[in-house]
Amino acid sequence: MATTLCFINQKGGCGKSSTCFHLSGCLAELGFQVLLVDADPQGSLSQAFFGSAEIERLTAEETLAVLFDDDCHRASADLITLPTSFERISLIPANHTLAAHNSPSPELAGLKQQTLRAHLETSPRYDFVLIDCPPNLYLCSWNAMLAADAIVIPVPPEDFGTQGLRVVHQAVDNARQLNSGLRLLGHVVTRADRRLLVHQAYEKRLRSLYGDLVLETVIPEASAFKVALACRQPVGHFSPRCKAAQATRALCREILERVAEQAKKRQVA
């Protein structure tokens, strides 16, 4: 069975899509089969691989939206999964057509709360599934949490990035009522500039509040991420020796360690 990680925060610009994009490259380099699920109607993760023009041309039947359509009885995750130009990385794309299904009252959605989970369970050939959520806690994010084994919360060390974390934690707790195996893997400090005293202060505050639930790896605000994205390549493929790539590999190792630790705890329990 794949390990499914949900990247979530109700604030935009936190690095959810970027973290999924670059992390997938590291996992693939290690030999893991990776499925990326773009659950954000903005389609940023999909555009990172294929460009905005190609993604916006896709019909609803070619994207994640089709899985939520009651009239498409033959829809399946496999039929809409696209191979990328990178070995061992595949993608379920999204675009604006998903917005109509992203209800702001997910608890009223009935069986649609479990749509993503039901479809991913029929695709067992991956080692990791990374789900990129929209910047809200609506139906798409709710589906992601119910489909996931663990939650990763990217957090920039500043006011707008840290606001609303309590609400995210409450949403995770609520999701556990329907997905008892869901765990909070941790917060990832992203887009950090440690030359800035304010970033240092916010990181210190996060660690004092959440302790071990903040990963040791800090993802810097680095131009290499943006240049690699512009070239449609995970940073580890684009510039393997740069600091951005090294930080992403460190994050990958730490996530793998935490996934293994949680697996051991479940076996003991």
188 within domain boundaries: yes
Three-state DSSP class for residue 258? helix
CATH number at residue 97: 3.40.50.300
Kindly report the pTM of this predicted structure: 0.95
256 within domain boundaries: no
13 within domain boundaries: yes
62 within domain boundaries: yes
Q: Are 218 and 156 in contact (CB under 8 A)?
A: no
Three-state DSSP class for residue 122? coil
pLDDT (tens digit, 9 = 90+) per residue, 171-194? Answer: 999 999 999 999 999 999 999 998
Three-state DSSP class for residue 163? coil
Strand order in the sheet with 3-7: 82-83, 89-92, 34-38, 128-132, 3-7, 150-155, 183-192, 214-220
110 within domain boundaries: yes
Residues of the chain with pLDDT under 70: 73, 123-124, 160-163, 269
List the structure tokens of 8: 């979530």
Predicted pLDDT at 70: 83
Predicted pLDDT at 181: 93
Structural domain containing residue 100: 3-21+34-215
- CA atoms of 27 and 22, how far apart (whole Å): 9
Specify the number of domains making up the chain.
1
Predicted pLDDT at 264: 84
Predicted pLDDT at 44: 97
67 within domain boundaries: yes
| b/e sequence 67-94, b meaning 16+ C-beta within 10 Å | bbeeeeeebebeebbbebebebbbbbbb
